[in-house]
Structure 1
């Protein structure tokens, strides 16, 4: 199977990528055997963009992805990130963007991935204590040395994106974008399109909530959702109403709520390449099928009416974690 392709700046990728974080980090225990099989199935299905980061389980996720793509490196557009030093739901994120850290992180990522270059290297979060020109300048040096092919940013603000792009072309901005997280549409999206920067939405299924399969009982040890406002208390129940409305629409189309939500993200433009995350082959197949699910204008209107942005209850992060976004 071959998926359609899209462009992130000058970088050609499959129209949908695979987010690998949850295989090792953020959503409880993992299964390396099934995760590896899922990565192989993604490649077989025509997915070329694989996304990881050094912060995911302190590099363990990069090691998993690196081993999974051994012998198939030429089929993969490999993306990783640097910049998050530590994560704490109560205290927030500790970030670094100084030149020495950029270079050390890249070298460590290359070792863990077992490759001589990465295709897309993101600054995971902007470090407000370091001029963005310095951080992007250090990343540009890695491009000049052949260790990185293209540069990206994540959860950056519009003004910072402009300053960064003045230093070196930025291929992609990775930020959360889904039916229930639409803040990117206010200013950042227009800025990226003006500058020719592709958009890589992470959590396009609302960290799984929009599939209708998330229950409170799933929150075990290591599942970050237990601390997120949208997944707890009355917010959970209010947001479930949105999902039930999506499920009703999906049944009429003969698809799942998750596929409908993912197809909506895919429909946002030819410069949009969502990276739904999964660690299971069954869910991968469901997600990939959504990459070619066409929605009419009436379909899109119905989806947006069922899941209006102002109906979502709760912030997407704790206040401490939210403070690292939009710099």
Structure 2
């Protein structure tokens, strides 16, 4: 068997009780993970573009960029709350299905794993702080940069943990090197492509989100035009980058993983859904860039969910 050597790394202990059929827990894991990833990408893409627009407004590009940034900033705290709440179910389902692996990898990077909570809390607070400063006409972009860095840090730690749980052959050596959990899984060739893949996808989903926000008729025409065109451009470029990084993630997998995925119908279906999602996002972004397409909003979110 392809994964027999991996399974042999687990000791013979009592299994973790499963409260429902495995197929149901896996289905819920996939569904909640996709919803969580959409929220993550909305925050990453939206926050990065808001910072860019904030810097433009300070460099003599007028009120249009500031108004566009404000439309995102006032929604980011709510979107961040969605991100956090949607992240809890997939984490719990992962613990039910793969608890022995996840608990072990969490201990091995324990110091960084514990740091996720204060980093996430301060990043969430910084979004509100940035809004308060903007409402008082104070400089806010540097606070948003802090929020973005906190979120990027949390994402990097999660990437390390969820890749390390797939490498039981590395656990013993890592524990011997640092039993205090002061290490990361950066020696794994898949860490950076996986992390970059999620960041690039933020430009896709975040861009689509901005184009839809830019369709509000209550906004000035110049602000709507900036949000629509900038969001569409972001989604188009990020779609190509995400597709390339998706190939890179596949390329750095071990021969055993590639063999297992090649023989999996589910993996092939997942790859096809991802490809259709990316193509759908790119096509919708191109169309929305030409003119507002409010009626296509459900299709835009469906494409983003498929890509996630």
- TM-score tier, shorter chain, comes to under 0.3
Task: Please state which structure has a larger fraction of its residues in helix.
Answer: 2
Larger Rg: 2
Normalising by the residue count of structure 2, what TM-score does the alignment of the two structures yield?
Answer: 0.27
Task: Please state which structure has a larger fraction of its residues in strand.
Answer: 1
Normalising by the residue count of structure 1, what TM-score does the alignment of the two structures yield?
Answer: 0.26
